[in-house]
Structure 1
C-alpha cells in the first residue's frame, strides 16, 4: 500500500501559507494599535491579524518599533513557567530553522528586518513540548514580552486549540499521534479507517481511546500492528488506511 497523500476527513487544507508580519501589523493598526507604540506578537496560520497562536500551526514571531541594531530578548510566560530566547538579527535563510519547541527551549533564532521597522522570524510549527505544552494548554494563553534598546513590548497571546489531531515529523520514531482540543475528561476513540474508491473513510477498527487531560493536549501510542497496516504493505491494490479520531483523520505519507 502506497500512502501518497495527506487527507483530512473534513476536507484537505491549502498547505503552508505565507505569513507577513507587515500585513499583520496593518490589521493591528486598523484594530486600534497606536503606530507609536512598540509591539511583539505571534502570527499564525490563518490568523495574520494576531488573534492568537494555533497549536501545530505555522507561526512567525513579529516585532515592531525596536531600535535598529539593539540586541533583543524575548521572554515567554506559560502558567508559572518562564522561558527566555535571545534573537539574532540577520537574513532568515541563513540561520537554523526554529524547531517546534522554539521560544520554549532557550535557543536563539534569527529575525530579519522586513522594512517599516518590522522584524520577522522564520516560520515554524508551534508545538511546545513537555511541561511547556501542559502549561500553555492549561492556561490557554502565553504572555510574550520582548525587550531591547530600552524598549519593551508585552502582549497576551491566546492559544487557538480547535479539536484535531496531528502527526509530529518524528512520528515513525515516537509512534505517537497528537490529539488536542477536546474537553478535559472526554474519552476520544482512536480508529483505523479504510478509504475506498469514493475517497470516503469508513471505520475499519477501533484501536484505543484517550482520556483528555486538563491541558486538552495528549498523545496516543500507535500500536506496532497499526503502523504495519499503515506503511508496511507497498501493494498499490491494497486499500488505503488512515489513522484518526471520528470526523478528523490523517492518511500517512508513504515511508518508501
Structure 2
C-alpha cells in the first residue's frame, strides 16, 4: 500500500492520459458511427455502399495493428508524422466507430415503419423526420450497446503504450521494471482502470434513463407497485400517494 501511495501522482498522470485517449476516441467513434450508421440506413445504394465499405474495412482490422499503421507506416507513406497520442485516438475511433455504425443502423431501422410513413404523410423533410421522430427513438436503443463500446474502447487504450504513449499501462510497466514489484505495480493500474470503468458505466446509465424518460418509457427499476403508482390513470404525476 505504501508503494502505491508514494507513486500515486505517477499513476494519476498515466490515468489522465488514458482518460484523454478514451474521450478523444469516443468522440471520434461517435461522430463516425452516427454518420456512417445513418448512411447505412438509407434506401439509396450509394450511401449504403459507402457505409458498408467503412464498416467492413475497419471492423476487420485489429485496433493495435491500426495504431502501428498510423504511428509507423503512415509517416513512411506520406511523410507526415502523427503525434503518438493522436495516432492512438484515430485508430481507436476508426475501429470502434465501425462497430458503432452498425448499432446506429440497426437502431434506426428498428423504428416502426408506420411512424416514418406518418412523417412522410405530414410532408416532413428527411432531415425533419430523422431529427424529430427517428433519432429520439433510436437513441434510446443505441445507448446500452454504446455503453459497452465505450468500456471496450477504454480498455483498448491499454495497448497504446506499445506505440510510445505514456498511459496508465505504460506507468505500471515502468514501475514493474524499475522496482521489480510486479504484483503491486499492476494492482495499482487494475484499480484505476476499474474505477474509470465504473464512472463510464454510471454515466451511460444516466443517459439511458434520461432518454427513456423523454420517451415516456418505464425505467428498468420501476416494476410492480412502483410502476403501477406511476401510471397516469392511477395518479402518477398528479395526486400521487398521500
- TM class by shorter-chain length? under 0.3
* TM-score, structure 2 as length reference: 0.22
* TM-score, structure 1 as length reference: 0.21
* Structure number having the greater helix percentage: 2
Structure possessing the higher relative contact order (Cα contacts under 8 Å, 6 or more residues apart): 2
